[in-house]
Amino acid sequence: MACPDGLDRIDLTGLTATGFHGVFDHERRDGQTFIVDVSLGLDFSAAAEGDDLAATVDYGAVAQHVHDVVTGQPVDLIESLARRMLEWCLDLGPVRWASVTVHKPDAPIAVPFHDVSVTTERSKQ
């Protein structure tokens, strides 16, 4: 799914933090790096025209929230982590569509790999 037509987009990529998520004891004990990408679809015409932060989304606040979720309460699945972030993003007033990708580059996989990620996307009804 892509950002719906007629919406502008704010992207935050590569937000990085250490979290203690996973199903294995060593993941919960030792932690690992998680990388998050967030895309927000909204109409920021009024913000651009009026040069007004209150008419758009404060991406600094989004980045801080993502960091807090990654470093906060552990979950077993990165799917759960992504959904927590997505639901919060969709609650932001002007946001009409959101996409969150959580990367787990150090996932405990027995074969060589570059990255594991999950993406969840939703639009407001």
Write down the pLDDT at residue 26: 95
Decide if 41 is inside a domain. Answer: yes
DSSP secondary structure string for all residues of 16-71:
EEEE--SSSHHHHHH-EEEEEEEEEEE--HHHHHHT-GGGS--HHHHHHHHHHHHH
Decide if 117 is inside a domain. Answer: yes
- The boundaries of the domain holding residue 30 are 8-123
Point out the catalytic residue in the list 85, 89, 104, 120.
104
pLDDT band at 6 (very low <50, low <70, confident <90, very high): confident
Decide if 3 is inside a domain. Answer: no
Q: Is 124 a catalytic residue?
A: no
Measured at the CA of 89, the angle between CA 94 and CA 83, to 5 degrees, comes to: 150
Instruction: Please give the tally of structural domains in the chain.
Output: 1
Q: Per-residue pLDDT tens for 30-72?
A: 999 999 999 999 999 999 999 999 999 999 999 999 999 999 9
Q: Per-residue pLDDT tens for 57-113?
A: 999 999 999 999 999 999 999 999 999 999 999 999 999 999 999 999 999 999 999
CATH number at residue 65: 3.30.1130.10
Q: Which residues contact 80 (CB under 8 A, 6 or more apart)?
A: none
- Can you give the pTM of this predicted structure? 0.94
Decide if 63 is inside a domain. Answer: yes
